[in-house]
Amino acid sequence: MFAGHGSPMNAIEDNRFRRGMHEAAQTLPRPEAILCISAHWETEGVCLTASPAPATIHDFYGFPKALHEARYPAPGHPALARRVAGLLPGAQLDESRGFDHGCWGVLLPMYPDAQIPVVQLSLDRRLSAQQHYALARSLAPLREEGILILGSGNIVHNLGRIGFHSPQGAPWAVRFNRHVKQCILDNGIDALAAYDSFGPEAALSVPTPEHFLPLLYVLAVRRSDDHVQWFNDAELMNSLSMTSFVLTAKQGD
């Protein structure tokens, strides 16, 4: 699953995006565990959370007290962290890192009981988009083990051009978002890994890569028989896209 997480308030507000995340999760078999790739954990090298009880990180400011008091006490999964590290040579285990809001902010609406074990995988800031995609392909065996691979970011994410009172996306944001969607439908992953070649609309939509890269991790484990199921498909606030999707086997397969 790729989830556009948007505002941290989507974790607790009763709005269409929170409901969309919850409803999308209900269409899936309940996973044995979740591997989350969030826009909000960048490191030098690849790291994995390895605590049996990760803390809830409130990595934001200026939001209501209720959001700062929110907790997501899902258990960690050190054995899964070691399994993933085995797939990604050189990956390091971090026993002190908790869940950032890119992770728990979507899991709280999706699985509010917080009973499914979760491991976070960091984004190595030294890698290019193509290198992230190549790395992520190594995660494909996890799909056979009941692991939900969850990317949390935004296809369009430019806070410098945000318009808080705008219900729609700017024309350039709409065009870029739709182009990315078409690439996903056409399985144009090579094009998406070179998204910065899309021109000025890409530069505006993805001024920094961290919110776009989780998308590549999800697409890297795509199967030829997968069906794309969209949810929360909207551009808003001038420079933000909430477009999200689930990859599932086609009906009848």
- Residues 8-53 have pLDDT tens digits of 999 999 999 999 999 999 999 999 999 999 999 999 999 999 999 9
For residue 231, pLDDT beyond 60: yes
Task: Report how far residue 219's alpha carbon sits from residue 202's, in angstroms, rounded to the nearest whole number.
Answer: 19
Task: Report how far residue 199's alpha carbon sits from residue 191's, in angstroms, rounded to the nearest whole number.
Answer: 12
Which tokens in the block code for residue 86? 């085995």
Contact 110, 21 (CB under 8 A): yes
Distant-in-sequence, close-in-space partners of 61: CB < 8 Å, separation ≥ 6: none
Alpha-carbon dihedral sign for residues 39, 189, 110, 46: negative
* Residues paired with 148 in a beta bridge: 34
CATH superfamily of 2-249: LigB-like (3.40.830.10)
Closest CA to 17 of 104, 105, 100: 105
pLDDT per position as a tens digit, 115-134: 999 999 999 999 999 999 99
pLDDT per position as a tens digit, 78-98: 999 999 999 999 999 999 999
**What pLDDT does 250 receive?**
65
Closest CA to 148 of 95, 103, 200, 207: 103
Any idea where the domains of the chain sit in the sequence? 2-249
Contact 66, 91 (CB under 8 A): no
Residue 113 burial class via C-beta count within 10 angstroms: exposed 0-12, middle 13-18, buried 19 and up:
exposed
Contact 121, 81 (CB under 8 A): no
For residue 252, pLDDT beyond 50: no
For residue 177, pLDDT beyond 60: yes
List, as one string, the DSSP characters of 104-160: HHHHHHH-TT--S-EEEEEEETTS-HHHHHHHHGGGGGGGGGTEEEEEEE-SSB-GG
Task: Report how far residue 214's alpha carbon sits from residue 33's, in angstroms, rounded to the nearest whole number.
Answer: 18
